[in-house]
Amino acid sequence: MKDIIKDLFKIVHRFHKCRPKFRGNGNLANVEFFILCGISVMLEGREEGITLGELIKETDMSMSAASKKITILEKKGLIERHTSETDRRNVYIKLTEKGKEISDRERALKNQWIKKVIERMGIDDTRQMLALMNKMFDIIEEMEKEQAAGREDGV
């Protein structure tokens, strides 16, 4: 068991070291790049935009963290906010042309890189790895819920 724990930590560290491959364009931090790409994906087929609440639900970020990142992306000219014409309480987020260009270009580059990894690894091994990783994360989430429920019960 000790060896497995050690190997799991090594894998997580190696995975973390791969992050530079996913670096965003120019002066974007990784999280800003992923938010930009996430917004791009969420906007598909939606003309008005997405709300901050939808982004938070999809990314599992806190309201304050998401708001800060949206403000940064807005200052960099990559997104814009506008109030709904039908309900003034709703503020929608959209990509600017610059934001769309960066997102499209970077997503294409990342997809090419990932395709090469999959080609070398093989489809079957990649599917098996994904299934096992999803199983592991499902277990982790389940354990977190159990732990949170225990705190609520005073355990």
Q: What is the pLDDT along the chain (155 residues), one digit of tens a residue?
A: 889 899 888 888 887 777 666 655 556 777 888 888 889 989 888 888 898 889 888 888 898 998 999 999 999 999 999 887 777 788 899 999 999 998 888 888 888 888 999 999 999 999 999 999 999 999 999 999 999 888 776 65
- Full-model pTM: 0.68
Nearest Cα to 9, choosing from 121, 141, 17? 17
Q: Which residue pairs from 138-141 have beta carbons closer than 8 angstroms and sit at least 24 positions apart in sequence?
A: none
Over the stretch 94-118, which tens digit does the pLDDT of each residue have? 999 999 998 888 888 888 888 999 9
